[in-house]
């Protein structure tokens, strides 16, 4: 199972931690900062990363709830019918923006449960 993490640039360190936590659970998780190749724009790299993944995790913090980039990337993942899960930190589930409320959501403390969900999804494929 390959996951792609969508997050606001200010949350890069947290995304690195989340990626390593998923990887420790046997899930191949890639944070968007690691997808660009020399000469490739980060925009194109992110879209390629979403295309090439099995599912998307949106890492959401209070400071990222109004991010246009997150909205755009989630819309792209939706257009490709990628499974999407919202992982939030430092906020309540009620603060999740409306456009993300239709997706499963979990607090960061539940990352183990989220990883098990994706492992089960991979077994079904």
What are the pLDDT digits (tens) for 17-27?
999 999 988 89
Q: Tell me the residue range of the domain where 7 lies.
A: 2-113
Q: Residue 9: which pLDDT band, with cuts at 50, 70 and 90?
A: confident
Look at residue 70 and tell me if it is in a domain.
Answer: yes
Look at residue 123 and tell me if it is in a domain.
Answer: no
Q: Residue 34: which pLDDT band, with cuts at 50, 70 and 90?
A: low
Look at residue 119 and tell me if it is in a domain.
Answer: no
How many domains does the chain contain in total? Answer: 1
pLDDT at 72 over 80: yes
Q: What would the mean pLDDT of 77-102 be, rounded to a whole number? A: 94
Look at residue 25 and tell me if it is in a domain.
Answer: yes
Look at residue 102 and tell me if it is in a domain.
Answer: yes
Look at residue 109 and tell me if it is in a domain.
Answer: yes
Look at residue 93 and tell me if it is in a domain.
Answer: yes
Look at residue 100 and tell me if it is in a domain.
Answer: yes
Q: What is the CATH number of the domain that holds 21?
A: 3.40.50.10140
pLDDT at 80 over 90: yes
Q: Residue 33: which pLDDT band, with cuts at 50, 70 and 90?
A: low
Q: pTM to 2 decimals?
A: 0.88
What is the residue-averaged pLDDT of the chain? 88
Residue 57 CB neighbours (<10 A)? 29
- Between the alpha carbon of residue 23 and those of residues 1, 20, 40, 112, the distances in Å are 10, 5, 25, 11
- Bridge-based pairing of strands 28-31 and 55-61 is unpaired
């Amino acid at each position: 199972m390959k996951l792609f993490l969508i997050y606001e640039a200010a949350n890069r360190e947290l995304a690195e931690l989340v990626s390593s936590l998923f990887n420790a659970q046997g899930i191949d998780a890639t944070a968007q900062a690691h997808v660009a190749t020399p000469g490739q724009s980060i925009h194109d790299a992110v879209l390629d990363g979403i295309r090439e993944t099995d599912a998307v995790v949106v890492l959401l913090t209070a400071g990222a709830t109004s991010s246009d980039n997150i909205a755009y990337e989630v819309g792209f993942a939706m257009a490709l019918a990628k499974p999407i899960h919202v992982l939030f930190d430092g906020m309540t589930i009620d603060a999740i923006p409306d456009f993300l409320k239709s997706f499963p959501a979990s607090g960061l403390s539940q990352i183990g449960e989220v990883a098990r969900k994706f492992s089960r999804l991979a077994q079904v494929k």
